[in-house]
Amino acid sequence: VRVAAPAVTREVEMGAPGSGMAADIAEQPGGYARLLATAPQVAEVARVIADRAPAHVVFVARGTSDHAAIYGSYLAEIRLGLPAGLASPSTMTLFGARPDFSRALVVGVSQSGRSPDLVRVLDVARRSGATTLAVTNAPDSELAATAELHVDVRAGRERAVAATKTYTAELLALLLVVEGVRTGTGRAAPKVAAVLDRLPDLAATTLDSDVPDEAAIRLRFAGQLLCTGRTYGYPTAREAALKIIETSYLSALAYSGADILHGPVAVAAPAVPVVAVVGAGPGGRSMAEVLDRVRSRSAEVIAVSPAEVPGARIRLPVPEVAEEYSPLLDILPLQRLALRLALERGGDPDAPRGLTKVTHTR
């Protein structure tokens, strides 16, 4: 399966700082196509889960994968009608909690599959009778071996420390699993499959815009940032903030479009840009009040949206899709923005200070 790699941040030369992250970002349309081509294997996993009919879903993850897990939990609640949430591994690894997961589907999401705390949670869950699923980019990892079920997100080796293509591959894998459970057959419904078929091309189109680079150049002197989005826009806001934190060391706060109104909106100010994810649906529409409030504080809005956003100084354009698919596209221009911003500020996003690719937490 081949999709033409889009030109991402055109000036990044092979071997130069950021070239690894640029290459990872550019591979995402092809990664979507590759994972979609292996949908039958995901379907087997989804069928097993549908047969077990779990009563609720528990996700465990760290860092970037945490944001994929948030997306998964929204899909489980909205598309499957199952209560879903994220568990804290440390209640089990440090405090010996042994929750009864017997009616749960417990999903560990991790690109490396090597964080000991996640392995431990999947082990505890499996022993208590849960259906366990590992979603990783590492089929030979301990996490994959510990869980009963495994989905390989097939993103290929990631060059940069900051995760990009493994994140979007995790998103798609979780979507495929949920849609397969939803129909009961393991395969997505035809209407969903039709959208997914277009995904590689939509991703390539999205990555082809140079607006994120222009926005990054504009943000060169920002000392802090606010990122926000509602429901399906929230994991995107969180992930955008983390990319900027990791690669530019800026304090990028991320709050949902509801939680931001309960306090953090006070940070919005003329020198504090606000990155707002404004989808074409109920989540995006509910951002209107947030946008009013930050504009009344003279903050500049950078919107990620398929349509014009009144008052936004810059709009990072994305294709219009139903909001349940939007996380798979909306993060793409923000990855480009994070990459370019780090380069503008003289950093090397491939190897951020103080970080390594695999993090072991207990």
Site for its own copies, residues 74 to 133, rule: CB under 8 A: 74, 77-78, 81-92, 94-101, 103-104, 117
Q: How many residues bind its own copies (CB under 8 A)?
A: 74
Whole-Å CA distances, 310 to 16, 228, 267: 38, 16, 21
Q: Closer to its own copies by CB, 51 or 100: give it.
A: 100
Whole-Å CA distances, 174 to 179, 201, 223: 9, 20, 35
Residues 320 and 51: their CA atoms lie apart, in Å, by: 34
Determine contact, residues 203/35, Cβ cutoff 8 Å.
Answer: no
To its own copies, the closest distance from the beta carbon of 317 in angstroms equals: 23
To its own copies, the closest distance from the beta carbon of 249 in angstroms equals: 5
| Window 26 to 85, contacts with its own copies (CB under 8 A) | 55-56, 58, 62-64, 66, 73-74, 77-78, 81-85
* Bridge-based pairing state of the strands 131-136 and 149-152: parallel
| Window 329 to 358, contacts with its own copies (CB under 8 A) | 352-355
Determine contact, residues 204/329, Cβ cutoff 8 Å.
Answer: no
Q: By CB under 8 A, name the one of 177, 252, 309, 316 that touches its own copies.
A: 252
CA 119 to chain centre: 21
Q: Closer to its own copies by CB, 163 or 304: give it.
A: 163
To its own copies, the closest distance from the beta carbon of 6 in angstroms equals: 25
CA 39 to chain centre: 20
To its own copies, the closest distance from the beta carbon of 74 in angstroms equals: 6
Q: Does 298 bind its own copies (CB under 8 A)?
A: no
To its own copies, the closest distance from the beta carbon of 125 in angstroms equals: 9
Q: Closer to its own copies by CB, 23 or 130: give it.
A: 130
Q: By CB under 8 A, name the one of 19, 131, 236, 256 that touches its own copies.
A: 256
Q: By CB under 8 A, name the one of 195, 261, 313, 345 that touches its own copies.
A: 261
Q: Residue for token digits 């992250």?
A: 21
Q: Closer to its own copies by CB, 35 or 299: give it.
A: 299
Q: Percent helix, strand and coil across the chain, each rounded to 5? A: 50, 15, 35
Q: Which of 267, 284, 163, 260 is nearest to 225 (CA)?
A: 267
Q: How many angstroms separate the first and last alpha carbons of the chain?
A: 38
Q: Closer to its own copies by CB, 78 or 195: give it.
A: 78
Strand segments (E) across 83-148:
84-86, 104-110, 131-136
Q: By CB under 8 A, name the one of 11, 251, 288, 311 that touches its own copies.
A: 251
Q: Does 293 bind its own copies (CB under 8 A)?
A: yes
To its own copies, the closest distance from the beta carbon of 297 in angstroms equals: 6
Q: By CB under 8 A, name the one of 123, 249, 295, 320 that touches its own copies.
A: 249
Determine contact, residues 218/314, Cβ cutoff 8 Å.
Answer: yes
To its own copies, the closest distance from the beta carbon of 147 in angstroms equals: 17
To its own copies, the closest distance from the beta carbon of 38 in angstroms equals: 27
Strand segments (E) across the chain:
56-61, 84-86, 104-110, 131-136, 149-152, 224-229, 251-256, 274-277, 301-305, 314-317
| Window 149 to 208, contacts with its own copies (CB under 8 A) | 162
- State the helix-helix crossing angle for 28-37 and 165-183, rounded to 10 degrees: 30
To its own copies, the closest distance from the beta carbon of 208 in angstroms equals: 28
Q: Closer to its own copies by CB, 104 or 204: give it.
A: 104
Q: By CB under 8 A, name the one of 26, 177, 250, 276 that touches its own copies.
A: 250
